[in-house]
Amino acid sequence: MGLTEDRERFREVGETRREDLAEFISHGDLGGSGADRIRIPIKVVDLPAFEYDQRSAGGVGQGGDGQPQPGQPVDPEPGDGDEDGDPGEEGGDHEYYEMDPEEFARELDEALGLDLEPKGKRVVEEVEGDFTDTARTGPRGALDVNEFFKRGLKRHLATDFDESYVREGLFVDGADADDVFAWARGEGVPVSRAWVADAAATLESERGEPVAALDRWESFDALGEEVDRESAAHRIRREGLDSVPFRREDERFRHPEVIEERERNVVVVNVRDASGSMRETKRELVERVFTPMDWYLTGKYDAAEFRYVVHDAEAWEVDREEFFGIQSGGGTRISSAYELVEEILEEYPYSEWNRYVFAAGDSENAASDTTERVIPLMESIDANLHGYVETQPGDGAANARHADEVESAFGDADDVAVARVGEPDDVTEAIYEILSTESEATGSAGGESARGRTDGGERR
């Protein structure tokens, strides 16, 4: 077997495992796994291996006397396991592969093409990094000398000017100190009125006549055509710099950068309709969607908490063991569940927690409850993602409108997802529909919800 064929076999191993993962989610026994270890049945795949010929004859080839001939293929010994028959005629053996939630999340990302990158919320630690920050105060030993010098030099260059050029303006016929000051500032020269006045007084003392009588230049335009102004930078390169005037406000002191360590934590509230219409088949579909999403989010975040709410016409909190099996004989009022969710999430401030609310049922609800109560509650509950999974095998009931009404109300909002599951084969597509909505939201500008923000809260 050549190197290319070996690589192809190894690639097929990864593809087979991802196929096993999808099959497990849709049809496998989810009860064999726990919160921290996921146990997935996989087909046994024989990896390529090399073996030496164990025959007594010398060499590993098949030519005469054990000597291989050029171009002769190396065939296995009869009875080494290769038998007549087409590939795939017999069912493969199965073993179990255990993975933790982190590995499960990576495999599901690969299998479904997801790209969820959670961000930290709550600051758990502040550590000091390199001395890259500066402040106006600090110990003398932390003075940033380079920054101190650069600030002083920058100000010096900004205020320095060609004194001889400005002084030449005093020789324009009829120009006094005010005229020269106005001309210099118009030329962008950072000269002060006091400096021009002092220079004019010096000339009048030396010449014994007013500067307005000096007439070397008939106008400022004539002066500009004949005399070039020299920049401060050019003059410093030519003459050097004897000193730089510093001020106290130029001082900057080095401080270590403060780095916030944030915990990527999440709370997930799972909601399920437990009314009389939620028969065993529908409850199993809920479990097949919610359980892998719980594993996935556990693997994606540093800390994950899960709360479970069931409802008929009223809502109550249960533990995970009860969540997927409990059934009541009452009617349905979905808003009762969201009212309880709102209370639960008060324990998890949105500024500190990533929050997910996943609800599932057969879309049957009390008349007008969805539009009048559920949708306003979903709008008011801050969450990274609201998801609703309709589990309705077959054509469904005539009054199963909840999923349609939620979808119509929120449209393409990037923090609300609706998925429909009619049979186990729909499960992985439903998981993708929900989690890919969250993945797309993290890639949008600022992660903002399509339905907007009203409280200034952080959107992951």
Give the pLDDT confidence of 331-383 residue by residue, as tens digits.
Answer: 899 999 999 999 999 999 998 899 999 999 999 999 899 999 999 999 999 99
Mean pLDDT of the chain, nearest integer: 77
The pLDDT value given to residue 271 = 97
Let me know: does 268 contact 298? Beta carbons within 8 Å. no
Q: Is the pLDDT confidence value at 185 over 70?
A: yes
The pLDDT value given to residue 382 = 95
Per-residue model confidence as pLDDT tens digits over 99-131: 888 898 888 888 888 877 777 665 555 555 555
The pLDDT value given to residue 136 = 63
The pLDDT value given to residue 247 = 65
Least confident of 1-5, 15-19, 99-103, 223-227: 1-5
Angle at 68 between CA 67 and CA 72, to 5 degrees: 160
Q: pLDDT confidence of 1, banded at 50, 70, 90?
A: very low
260: left (phi over 0), alpha (psi -120 to 50) or beta: beta
Report in angstroms the alpha-carbon separations of 219 from 177, 188, 207, 224: 14, 18, 20, 9
Neighbours of 450 (CB within 10 A): 13
Of the two residues 130 and 33, the one the predictor is more confident about is 33
| Structure tokens that stand for 382 in this block | 């801050």
pTM: 0.58
Q: pLDDT confidence of 447, banded at 50, 70, 90?
A: very low
Q: Is the pLDDT confidence value at 295 over 80?
A: yes
Of the two residues 159 and 293, the one the predictor is more confident about is 293
Percent of the chain having pLDDT more than 90?
Answer: 31
User: Phi and psi at residue 67, in whole multiples of 5°?
Assistant: -100, 120
Mean pLDDT computed over 253-274: 80
The pLDDT value given to residue 35 = 78
Of the two residues 195 and 43, the one the predictor is more confident about is 195
Radius of gyration of the chain measured on its C-alpha atoms: 39
Measured N-to-C along each axis, helices 101-112 and 3-27 cross at an angle, to the nearest 10 degrees, of 100
Q: Which residues partner with 97 through β-bridges?
A: 40
Q: pLDDT confidence of 446, banded at 50, 70, 90?
A: very low
The pLDDT value given to residue 257 = 66
Interatomic CA distance for residues 378 and 384, integer angstroms: 12
The pLDDT value given to residue 392 = 87
Let me know: does 26 contact 422? Beta carbons within 8 Å. no
Mean pLDDT computed over 136-153: 68
Q: Is the pLDDT confidence value at 241 over 70?
A: no
Report in angstroms the alpha-carbon separations of 80 from 1, 72, 172, 234, 439: 16, 20, 110, 87, 50
The pLDDT value given to residue 412 = 84
Q: Is the pLDDT confidence value at 72 over 60?
A: no
The pLDDT value given to residue 341 = 97
Residues with Cβ within 8 Å of 46's Cβ and at least 6 positions away in sequence, in order, are: none
Interatomic CA distance for residues 448 and 460, integer angstroms: 8
Dihedral of the CA atoms 356, 362, 368, 369 (nearest 10)?
-40
Per-residue model confidence as pLDDT tens digits over 410-434: 988 889 999 999 999 999 999 999 9
Q: Is the pLDDT confidence value at 139 over 80?
A: no
Q: Is the pLDDT confidence value at 317 over 60?
A: yes
